C-alpha cells in the first residue's frame, strides 16, 4: 500500500470544501471512514485465502528476515496451498469480477439494442448508420438492401450469443492485429465467450482445483481478453450505434455545475440507457413547467462516474464529479435526487442522504440499496420510467433545506474523442486515417501514446496522482488518451482544453495539438470505452510504420489511482494485448515474489506487455517514457527525436 498522505485529501478545491462542510454537518464521508478503517496488510498484498471455511488462511511474507527453504515450505494454507497459488487465485478472482462487471453491462446494452432494433423500446433507435454498417462489415453481416433494423437485429443476436460462446473465439478478436491473434493462439489465451471464461475462472479458483500460479495467471489473461475485446467492446460499439458515436463537445465539470435555483438531478453509475432518456425528459417543456410550479427555475441534469462520461461524450451533459465526489454532491445540500444503476456506487450515499433531503433512487434489478427508493428502469417503458424519476426529483425540490453550499468551482473541457473522431480529425473526412499521428510519432514530434485510466482511491491524495502523471507525460511529448475517473481528474485540472497544449505540453506535442486544434489529453469516454484505446492502437499498427503488433508501438498504459476489480481486468487485457501497464496506489500480489515477478517480468516474454507497480506518479511516468523510448529504439526511430528542430517549413507542413 502506498504511503498515505492524509494531510492533503484532495488537490481539488471543491472536494476539500465539501469534506469540511461534511465534517461540520456531521455527515461521515469516505475520507473520514478511511481514516478509521485501515486496510488489512495481509489481504491487500494478496496473502489471505478465504476460499473455504477451514480458513481464512494467512501466509504473509515474514518481514525483516530471510526465510529458510524449510520455513517457506511450511508457510502454506491448511490445504497446503502455497502463497503463490493463493496470490494468483486472488488475482484471477479480481480479474473475473472485473470482467463480469463490464460484460454484464455489455449484455444489458445488447438486450436494449435488440429491443430498439425490433421497435420494442420506444425512444431508442438505431442512430448511427455509418457505424452500424461498419460493424456489420466487421462481423460479416449481410448488408445488401436490408433495412438498418434488420441488420441491427443480426448484429445484436450475434453479440448476444458471443457472451455465452462455449467454443471457438470471440467475435471482435478478429479486429486485433494478426500477429496478436497468432500470439493468443500460441499462448492458449484466445478467449471463448466471457461467461464461459468467468465461470471457468471461478471454478479454477475454487478450493482444490488449479494450483499452479502460471496456469491461474494464464486464465486471468484469457478472462480479461474476453472483457476487453469482448464484453466491453460490444458495449462500446452497440452504444455508439444506438446513441451515436461521440464527436467533440464542450462541457463543464465539478461540483460547481450544480445550480442553486434549479432542481438538481445526478445520474450515477455506468450504463447509458436510462441516462440517455433522462437527457431527453429533463428537456421536456412540460417537465420544466412542472419544476417551475414547485418554485425551481428549471431542471439541471449532471452526471457522476462513468454514466457521466457516456452522456458527456454524446450530449455534453456536465459532470458533477468523479468517484470520490459522489457523497460530496449530496453534502452540497442542493441535490434533489441521485439516480443510480450499477457499479461504483458507495453504500455510504444512503447514510449521507439521511442528513439532507436528497432522494437516492436505485433503478436496476441487480442493484438495490437498503433504505433507498427503487424505481425500476425497463427499456420497454423507458420514457415513462424516466418521467417518473424526474417527477420524483422535482417533487423533492420544496424539501430542500437552508443548509446549501455549492462550491464555486468548475472547469471547461472538451470530450468526445472516439476512435472515429480521432481518425477524422487527423486525416479529414475523405482521408480519415491515423497516418498523421503515425508520421508525427515517427518524426518524433510526438514521442508516444499513453492511456491513463481508472478510478480514484481514497488511500492516495484524490486526483493528484492522475494529474501529476499526465502532466509529466505531456511535458515529455507523450499524447495522453483517457477514460473513467482519471479523465475527470485531468479535466478538472484544466488539461482537456486546447489551450492546455501551449501551457503544459512539450514543444513537439504542442505543435501537433495546435495545428489540429485538439487538447494534449483526449477524453475517450467511460471505462468500457477502453475498448476504444484497443481499437485506436490497432489502427496505428494497421496504418504502418510502427511495427506489426500493438506491443511494437511506443505506447504505455496506467491506472495510477485504481481501486476497482474492473481496473485489474482492464490492466490485464492491456498487458495481454501487448501494452506495458503501470498501476499505482496498491498492488494485490506484493506479498508474493514469484507471482509478482511473473506479472512484472516473465509476462513480457509471453505477451510483449507486462505490469508494473509504482505509486509515485513522476517515477511511474518516467517508467512509461523509458518503455516508449525502448520501443522507439526497436523501431529505429529513436534518432528522429534528437533531430527535431522546428523551422518554418516544418511548422507550415504541420498546418
Q: Residue 132 or residue 480: which is nearer to ligand NFS going by CB? A: 480
Q: What's the closest the beta carbon of residue 235 comes to ligand NFS, in angstroms?
A: 11
- The residue ranges that bind ligand NFS (CB under 6 A) are 270, 305-306, 323, 344, 454-455, 484-485, 526-527, 564, 566-567
User: Strand pairing partners for 367?
Assistant: 364
Task: Point out which residues pair with 250 in neighbouring strands.
Answer: 414
Nearer to ligand NFS, 454 or 615 (CB): 454
Q: How far apart are CA 382 and CA 399, in angstroms?
A: 27
C-alpha cell at position 119: 421497435
* Nearer residue to ligand NFS within complex by CB, 217 or 344: 344
CB-side neighbour CA atoms (13 Å) of 527? 37
Backbone angles phi and psi of 57, in degrees to 5: -100, 135
Question: What minimum distance in Å lies between the beta carbon of 82 and ligand NFS?
Answer: 31
3-state class (DSSP) for residue 113: helix
The three cell numbers locating residue 644: 527535431
The distance of closest approach from Cβ of residue 178 to ligand NFS in the complex, given in angstroms and rounded to an integer, is 30
Nearest partner of 103 among 229, 269, 221, judged by Cα? 229
State the DSSP code for 144.
Answer: T
- The residue whose grid cell reads 470530450 is 415
β partners of residue 267 = 303, 339
Closest to ligand NFS by CB, 304 vs 575, is 304
The phi and psi torsions of 415 (rounded to 5 degrees) equal -120, -170
Q: Nearer to ligand NFS by C-beta: 421 or 457? A: 457
Q: How far is the CB of 103 from ligand NFS (least distance, A)?
A: 12
Dihedral of CA 365/368/374/375: which sign? Answer: negative
Q: Are 270 and 307 in contact (CB under 8 A)?
A: yes
Measured from the CB atom, the residue of 191 and 484 that comes closer to ligand NFS is: 484
Residue 474 Cβ vs ligand NFS, minimum distance, rounded to whole Å = 20
361 beta partners: 339, 373
Closest to ligand NFS by CB, 325 or 476 = 325
Judged by beta carbon, residue 287 or residue 302, the one nearer ligand NFS is 302
Q: How far is the CB of 249 from ligand NFS (least distance, A)?
A: 19
b/e map of 623-650 (b: 16 or more CB within 10 Å)?
bbbebbbebbeebebeeebeeeeeeeee
Q: How large is the greatest C-alpha to C-alpha distance in the chain, in angstroms?
A: 77
Tell the smallest beta-carbon distance from residue 225 to ligand NFS (Å): 18
Query: Least distance in Å: CB of 10 to ligand NFS?
Result: 15
Output the smallest distance, CB 480 to ligand NFS, in A: 15
CA distance 356 to 354: 5
Is the CB of residue 517 less than 8 Å from the CB of residue 421? no
Q: Which is nearer to ligand NFS, 326 or 358 (CB)?
A: 326
Amino acid at each position: 500500500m502506498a504511503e498515505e498522505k492524509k494531510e492533503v485529501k484532495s488537490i481539488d478545491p471543491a472536494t476539500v470544501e465539501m469534506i469540511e462542510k461534511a465534517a461540520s454537518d456531521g455527515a461521515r464521508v469516505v475520507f473520514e471512514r478511511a481514516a478509521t478503517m485501515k486496510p488489512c496488510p495481509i489481504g491487500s498484498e494478496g496473502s489471505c485465502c478465504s476460499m473455504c471455511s477451514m480458513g481464512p488462511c494467512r501466509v504473509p511474507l515474514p518481514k525483516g528476515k530471510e526465510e529458510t527453504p524449510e520455513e517457506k515450505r511450511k508457510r502454506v494454507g491448511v490445504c497446503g496451498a502455497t502463497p503463490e497459488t493463493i496470490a494468483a487465485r486472488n488475482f484471477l478472482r479480481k480479474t473475473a469480477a472485473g470482467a463480469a462487471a463490464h460484460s454484464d453491462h455489455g449484455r444489458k446494452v445488447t438486450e436494449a439494442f435488440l429491443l430498439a432494433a425490433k421497435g420494442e423500446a420506444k425512444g431508442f433507435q438505431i442512430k448511427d448508420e455509418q457505424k452500424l454498417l461498419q460493424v456489420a462489415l466487421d462481423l460479416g453481416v449481410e448488408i445488401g438492401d436490408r433495412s438498418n433494423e434488420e441488420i441491427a437485429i443480426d448484429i445484436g443476436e450475434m453479440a448476444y450469443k458471443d457472451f455465452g460462446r462455449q467454443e471457438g473465439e470471440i467475435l471482435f478478436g478478429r479486429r486485433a492485429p494478426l500477429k496478436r491473434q497468432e500470439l493468443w493462439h500460441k499462448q492458449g489465451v484466445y478467449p471463448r465467450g466471457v461467461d464461459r471464461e468467468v465461470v471457468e475462472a471461478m471454478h479454477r479458483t475454487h478450493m482444490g482445483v488449479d494450483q499452479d500460479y502460471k496456469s491461474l495467471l494464464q486464465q486471468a489473461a484469457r478472462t480479461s481478453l474476453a472483457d476487453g475485446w469482448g464484453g466491453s467492446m460490444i458495449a462500446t460499439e452497440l452504444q455508439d450505434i444506438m446513441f451515436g458515436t461521440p464527436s467533440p463537445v464542450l462541457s463543464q465539470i465539478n461540483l460547481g455545475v450544480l445550480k442553486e435555483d434549479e432542481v438538481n438531478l445526478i445520474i450515477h453509475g455506468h450504463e447509458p440507457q436510462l441516462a440517455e432518456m433522462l437527457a431527453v425528459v429533463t428537456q421536456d417543456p412540460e417537465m420544466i413547467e412542472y419544476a417551475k410550479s414547485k418554485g425551481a427555475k428549471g431542471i439541471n441534469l449532471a452526471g457522476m462516474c462513468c454514466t457521466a462520461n457516456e452522456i458527456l461524450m454524446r450530449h455534453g451533459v456536465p459532470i458533477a464529479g468523479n468517484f470520490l465526489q459522489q457523497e460530496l454532491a449530496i453534502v452540497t445540500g442542493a441535490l434533489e435526487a441521485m439516480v443510480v444503476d450499477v457499479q461504483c456506487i458507495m453504500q455510504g450515499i444512503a447514510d449521507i442522504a439521511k442528513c439532507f433531503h436528497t432522494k437516492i433512487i436505485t433503478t436496476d434489478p441487480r442493484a438495490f440499496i437498503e433504505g433507498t427508493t427503487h424505481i425500476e428502469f425497463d427499456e420497454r417503458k423507458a420514457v415513462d420510467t424516466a418521467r417518473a424519476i424526474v417527477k420524483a426529483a422535482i417533487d423533492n425540490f420544496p424539501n430542500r433545506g437552508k443548509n446549501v453550499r455549492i462550491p464555486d468551482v468548475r472547469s471547461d473541457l472538451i470530450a468526445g474523442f472516439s476512435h472515429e473522431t480521432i481518425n477524422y480529425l487527423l486525416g479529414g473526412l475523405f482521408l480519415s486515417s491515423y497516418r498523421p499521428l503515425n508520421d508525427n510519432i515517427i518524426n518524433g514530434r510526438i514521442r508516444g501514446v499513453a492511456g491513463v485510466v481508472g478510478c480514484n482511491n481514497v488511500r492516495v491524495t484524490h486526483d493528484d496522482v492522475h494529474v501529476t502523471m499526465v502532466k509529466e507525460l505531456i511535458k515529455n511529448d507523450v499524447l495522453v488518451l483517457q477514460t473513467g475517473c482519471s479523465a475527470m481528474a485531468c479535466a478538472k485540472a484544466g488539461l482537456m482544453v486546447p489551450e492546455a497544449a501551449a501551457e503544459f505540453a512539450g514543444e513537439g506535442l504542442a505543435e501537433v495539438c495546435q495545428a489540429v486544434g485538439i487538447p494534449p489529453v483526449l477524453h475517450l469516454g467511460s471505462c468500457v470505452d477502453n475498448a476504444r484505446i484497443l481499437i485506436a492502437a490497432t489502427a496505428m499498427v494497421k496504418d504502418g510504420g510502427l511495427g506489426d503488433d500493438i506491443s511494437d508501438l511506443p505506447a504505455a498504459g496506467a491506472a495510477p489511482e485504481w481501486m476497482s476489480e474492473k481496473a485489474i481486468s482492464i490492466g490485464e487485457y492491456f498487458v495481454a494485448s501487448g501494452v506495458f501497464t503501470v498501476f499505482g496506489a496498491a498492488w494485490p500480489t506484493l506479498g508474493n515474489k514469484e507471482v509478482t515477478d511473473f506479472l512484472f517480468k516473465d509476462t513480457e516474454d509471453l505477451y510483449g506487455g507486462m505490469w508494473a507497480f509504482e505509486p509515485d506518479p513522476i517515477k511511474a511516468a518516467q517508467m512509461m517514457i523509458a518503455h516508449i523510448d525502448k520501443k522507439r529504439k526497436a523501431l529505429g526511430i529513436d534518432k528522429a527525436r534528437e533531430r527535431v528542430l522546428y523551422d518554418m517549413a516544418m511548422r507550415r507542413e504541420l498546418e
